[in-house]
Structure 1
Amino acid sequence: MFVRTESFKEFLKFYPIVSGLVLINLLLWLFISVFQFNFALDLLRAGVGNNFLVSQGEYWRLVTPIFLHGGFSHALFNSFSLVLFGPALEQMLGKMKFITVYLIAGIAGNIGTYIVAPNAFYQHLGASGAIFGIFGVYVFMVLFRKHLIGSANSQMITIIFVLGLFMTFARPNINVLAHVFGLIGGFALAPPLLKNARPFSVWQNRVKHENRSRSGASFDPNRWNKRKFSGKGYGKYIIWGFIIFLVALALVNNFL
C-alpha cells in the first residue's frame, strides 16, 4: 500500500486530495521563498503560528500554519511524506474523511502547541502535525484493525513511527508538541473514520475509473493482471530510501 505503481496521471486522478495538498505546499513555498511575491509574504506574516497573536483572537493561525513551510527541505520532506503515506489512506477513508483527519490533526497539533508551549511568543509552521495525524490512523490500524493493513505494512509503519518519534525528539527546531498532539488527534479520529473502511487496493481505483470512463460498458477485471507496471519491484527501494533519508537527516541535524 506504500508502493506507488501508478503513473503520474493516474496518481492525480486516484488521489486528488493528496495531489492538491502537495501542490499547495510547493506553490506556497515557491511564492514565498523563491519569487517572494508581496501577497505571499503577507500571507506568511498573517498565517504563521504565533501563540501570543492567537491569544489576541487571531484563531485562524491554528489552521494556516499547516500549509506554510520554512524552506525547501521542510516543504519537500512533508510533501514526500504525504505522497508516500497519504494515498492509501485517502482511498480507504474517502476524500472527505481523509481531508477531515488531515486538517483536524493539524489543528490539534497547533492547539496543543498553543496550550502547552511555555513561550507566549513561540512561532511555528509546517504540516508535520497533520502528517503525524496520518500516522496516528495507521498506528490505530496496527493495534486494533490489523486486517486493514496486513503484517508487512504493519511492520513498516512501526519502523517509520519509531524513527519519526526519534527524529521528533532528537532534531533541533522541531515543534514536538505539534507532532505529539497531531498523532493523538489522528489516533482519536481513527475509530469512527475506519468504521466502514476496506483494505487498500490499487485495483479498486483502476476498476472504478475504468467503469466511469466506459459509462457502464462491460469490464474485464482481469485485464490489469495482464499489464506490467514499470514501478513494480522498486517499491522496497522507495521505502528503505525514505528510512535512510530520515536517519541521515537526523544525523546531519545533530552534527551541524
Structure 2
Amino acid sequence: MFSRTENFYTFRKNYPIITIIIAIHLIIFLWINLLPGGEWIRFRGVGFNLGVELGEYWRLVTPIFMHVSLTHLLFNSASLVIFGPPLEQMLGKAKFILLYLSSGILANIATFFIGGLDYPPHLGASGAIFGIFGAYFFIALLRKDLIDRNNSQLILMIFIAGIVMTFVNSNINIYAHIFGAIAGAAIIPLLLNGVKPFYRPINMVQQKDPDEIQFNPNRWNNKKFGNSQLKIGKVFWIAFGVIVLIGLLSRFV
C-alpha cells in the first residue's frame, strides 16, 4: 500500500493530483531561491500572523506550497509520494484536494489564533501532510474495512513517531502538525461514503509480488458503517474548536 514501485509515467498517470502538488512545490522552491522576484514571492507568500490580522488571508493558503530549504522540500514531497497515493485513489481527485487543502488551511488558522501576532513566519506542507496522517489514523481505528492490519499498524507507528518528533525537533510549527492531524481526522469521515479499499492499478502491477501485503476487501463485509463514524468526526471537530478557543482566550489573559 505504501511501497512505491511504479515509474514516473505510471505514477503521474495514476496520481495526477499528487504529481501536480509536488510540481508546484518544486517550481515555487526554485523560484524563491534562484529566479528574479523570488524574494518578493517568499515575502508575500510566507505564513505571517500579523499579515493575516491585517487582511492578507492568502497567507493561510500559500505557505502550504512553500519550503525554506532543499531538505524541507524533499522530506515533505517524499512523504506525499509515499503516503498520498492510496488516499488519492480511494477518495478521488476532488475529495483528496479537499482533504489536503482543508487540513493545511485549518492548521494555519490554528497557528494564527493560538500562536498570536508575534509568532514567527512559517511555511511548509507539513500541516497538510499531517492531515493525511490524521485521516489514516481515523481509518486505522474506525474503518478497518479500508486498510489491512499490517498497514494499519505501520501508519499508526509513523503517526505517533511524527507527533513525538514534532516536540523534539526545533524550528517546527507545532500548531500546524497537531491541528493538521486533527483536521484530517475530522474531515475524513465526511469523505468516506462509497470509498473502497486501495488496490494497485493494473498498469502498475504485472505480476503479484509474494512479499506484497495482500488484503481481502470482503474481510469485514458484515460490518456496517453509518452515522457512528460521523459522530466520531464531530468529536475531532469539537476538540479542534475547543483547543483553538483556549489558545485564542490565552492571548487576552
1:66 aligned counterpart, secondary structure: helix
C-alpha contact (below 8 Å) 2:49/2:116 kept by paired residues: no
Deviation at 1:8, TM superposition (A): 1.5
Aligned to 2:175: 177
In structure 2, which of residues 109, 133, 144 is the aligned counterpart of residue 111 of structure 1? 109
Deviation at 1:233, TM superposition (A): 7.7
Q: Alpha carbon RMSD of aligned pairs, Å? A: 1.9
Aligned to 1:21: 21
1-side partners of 2:110 and 2:22: how far apart? Answer: 24
2:171 aligned counterpart, secondary structure: coil
1:38 alignment partner AA: P
Equivalences for 1:86-97 in 2 at 5 Å?
A: 86-97=84-95
Aligned to 1:142: 140
2-side partners of 1:87 and 1:122: how far apart? Answer: 32
**Structure 2: any 5+ residue segments left out of the alignment?**
214-253
C-alpha contact (below 8 Å) 2:48/2:120 kept by paired residues: yes
1-side partners of 2:117 and 2:55: how far apart? Answer: 17
Aligned to 2:232: none
CA offsets 1:63-83 (integer angstroms, 9 cap, x no match): 000000110000110000000
1:150 alignment partner AA: D
Equivalences for 1:231-246 in 2 at 5 Å?
A: none
Equivalences for 1:1-256 in 2 at 5 Å?
A: 1-33=1-33, 35=34, 37-203=35-201, 206=203, 227-228=206-207
**Length, aligned pairs only:** 213
2:17 alignment partner AA: I
The 10-residue stretch of structure 1 (1-10 or 118-127) with the greater mean CA deviation from structure 2: 118-127
1:18 alignment partner AA: I
Percent of residue pairs identical: 49
CA offsets 1:46-87 (integer angstroms, 9 cap, x no match): 000001111000000000000001100001100000000000
Aligned to 2:242: none
CA offsets 1:123-158 (integer angstroms, 9 cap, x no match): 100000000000111001011101101101001001
1-side partners of 2:53 and 2:117: how far apart? Answer: 12
| CA gap 1:14/1:170 in 2 versus in 1, 3 angstroms | same
CA offsets 1:96-123 (integer angstroms, 9 cap, x no match): 0001110000000100000000452521
CA offsets 1:3-62 (integer angstroms, 9 cap, x no match): 1122221000000000111111112112222x2x22332111100000111100000000
Aligned to 1:218: none
**Structure 1: any 5+ residue segments left out of the alignment?**
208-223, 237-256
C-alpha contact (below 8 Å) 2:101/2:128 kept by paired residues: yes
2-side partners of 1:150 and 1:193: how far apart? Answer: 19
C-alpha contact (below 8 Å) 1:4/1:235 kept by paired residues: no
CA offsets 1:196-244 (integer angstroms, 9 cap, x no match): 11100013x649xxxxxxxxxxxxxxxx6xx348xx58989xxxxxxxx
1-side partners of 2:24 and 2:42: how far apart? Answer: 13
Structure with higher helix content: 1
> When the two structures are superposed, what TM-score results if normalisation uses the length of structure 2?
0.80
1:174 aligned counterpart, secondary structure: coil
